[in-house]
Amino acid sequence: MKKVIQCPCGTVIEGRDDDDVVRQAQEHAKQVHQMELSRDQALAMARPA
Ligand SMILES: [Zn+2]
């Protein structure tokens, strides 16, 4: 199932499944926010697309 995470900065991250959206969110958090995002944190922000 596709998942979407809307980052507080306004970026929308879309993944084809949980693993994909989590990976992209972790990458975004690290590169843009210098933040380590856990899988649980990312999934808590994810909504079905
Ligand atoms: Zn962001």
Q: What's the pTM?
A: 0.92
The partner residues of 6 in beta bridges, in order of sequence, read 12
4-48: per-residue pLDDT in tens? 999 999 999 999 999 999 999 999 999 999 999 999 999 999 999
Quote the pLDDT of residue 13: 98
Quote the pLDDT of residue 23: 98
**Cα of 12 from ligand 1 centre, angstroms:** 8
**Cα of 1 from ligand 1 centre, angstroms:** 22
What count of other Cβ atoms lies within 10 Å of the Cβ of residue 32? 11
Measured distance CA(47)–CA(43) in Å, rounded? 8
Measured distance CA(48)–CA(6) in Å, rounded? 11
Which residues have a beta carbon within 5 Å of ligand 1, which is an ion? 7, 9, 11, 32
**Cα of 30 from ligand 1 centre, angstroms:** 9
